[in-house]
Amino acid sequence: MKRKELEDYQAICITLDGEESLVDKIHPILGKLIQHLLDLPEKASKPKILECFKKCILSINDFEDEIETVERESILEILYTLGEIVGLDPESEFAEAWRGDW
């Protein structure tokens, strides 16, 4: 896991595109994901890392009725960027396993 890169990504603030009221709901969920990833041991296993993403995405699913294309693309971009930072292959489309109907 690239802890420094993850901390840097957290520091620049996650920028979500879309409806402000929805962004205000999703932003803290993504912030918790970053914190959970930072709390993992440096050599955390992929299953442990994926569990953090799963919890995040399942929480985001609570807002699936509000998520439109622009928000979906922005959220997925952030998830896959974070995934790359912690060693997940974006080609695996890991987020699709838990993503609701958004």
63-83 pLDDT, tens digit each: 999 999 999 999 999 999 999
Stretch 17-25: mean pLDDT, rounded? 93
Total of domains in the chain: 1
Q: Which amino acid is at 69?
A: T
* Neighbouring C-alpha atoms within 13 Å toward the C-beta of 83: 23
Q: Which domain holds residue 88?
A: 3-97
pLDDT at res. 1: 64
What is the average pLDDT across 43-70? 97
Percent of the chain with pLDDT over 90: 80
* CB 56 within 8 Å of CB 99: no
pTM of the model: 0.90
Residue 55 has pLDDT above 90, yes or no: yes
The verdict on residue 39 lying in a domain is yes
